[in-house]
């Protein structure tokens, strides 16, 4: 859940029909996810499929919708020179720098059950298909700790529905360290610009955050 950082007291004067929660992301998604590997030749090529059916509640806009999603993720053997495909590969062995690239094809569809206060131009029932690409680099410092940096780009042209393609860019820089109980903690910054995957609100957010891995 994300809330805008700009909250003032007393609250600013709002335009007619506007509310203080406009632009907020406050959503809950529940459903079923099935993940499988379609290929069995481990040495040459792997192909993974994730299929998901879920219901999404958008509390900021009092809206609901159904969602169907499928991801097809190929993992060929080899590298792209700057990164390993689907696995970390040493880019600069002398200092331990490792990099990874991930690619996947996506199909995303939604059916609006309750419009609430959302604008149908950005929230209508739709069918979209496209893909996502990710690059991540890890520079170890000591005992499994290290710096993580990554960028992700997602683009899904809308095939049926509103004339508003789904596009999102994410970048992050954080430091990962481990506790004595083998719990990982990430501390750092992230920047996101584009369409939120759950609420489909347009975002342009810089965040300082704390993450836990266990």
Extents of the domains making up the chain? 27-213
Per-residue pLDDT, 26: 79
Per-residue pLDDT, 10: 55
Per-residue pLDDT, 4: 44
Question: Rounded to two decimals, what is the model's pTM?
Answer: 0.79
Q: Are 117 and 62 in contact (CB under 8 A)?
A: yes
How many residues are recorded in the chain?
214
Report how far Cα 180 is from the mean position of its chain's Cα atoms. 29
Nearest to 149 by CA among 141, 140, 137, 161: 137
What count of Cα atoms within 13 Å lies in the side-chain half-sphere of residue 160? 8
pLDDT tens, residue by residue, 169-193:
999 999 998 888 788 889 999 999 9
Helices of type H across 71-126 = 120-123
Per-residue pLDDT, 2: 42
Q: Which two tokens stand for residue 75?
A: 């993992």
**Enclosing H/E stretch for 123:** helix 120-123
∠ Cα 120 122 126 (to 5°)? 85
Residues of the chain with pLDDT under 50: 1-7
- State the Cα–Cα distance between residues 108 and 117, nearest whole angstrom: 22
- State the Cα–Cα distance between residues 72 and 167, nearest whole angstrom: 18
Per-residue pLDDT, 145: 86
């Amino acid at each position: 859940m994300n809330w805008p950082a700009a909250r003032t007291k007393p609250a600013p004067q709002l335009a007619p029909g506007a509310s203080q929660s406009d632009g907020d992301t406050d959503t809950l998604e529940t459903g079923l996810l099935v993940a499988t590997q379609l290929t069995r030749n481990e040495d040459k090529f792997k192909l993974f499929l994730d299929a998901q059916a879920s219901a999404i509640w958008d509390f900021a806009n009092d809206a609901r919708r159904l969602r169907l999603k499928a991801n097809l993720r190929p993992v060929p053997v080899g590298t792209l020179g700057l990164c390993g495909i689907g696995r970390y590969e040493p880019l600069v062995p002398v200092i331990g720098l490792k990099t990874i690239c991930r690619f996947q094809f996506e199909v995303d569809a939604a059916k609006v059950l309750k419009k609430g206060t959302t604008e149908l131009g950005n929230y209508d029932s739709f069918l979209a298909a496209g893909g996502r690409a990710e690059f991540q680099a890890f520079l170890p410092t000591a005992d499994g700790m290290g710096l993580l940096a990554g960028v992700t780009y997602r683009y899904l042209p809308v095939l049926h529905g509103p004339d508003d393609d789904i596009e999102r860019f994410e970048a992050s820089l954080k430091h990962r360290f481990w506790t004595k109980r083998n719990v990982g903690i990430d501390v750092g910054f992230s920047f996101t610009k584009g369409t939120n995957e759950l609420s489909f609100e347009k975002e342009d957010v810089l965040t300082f955050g704390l993450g836990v891995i266990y």
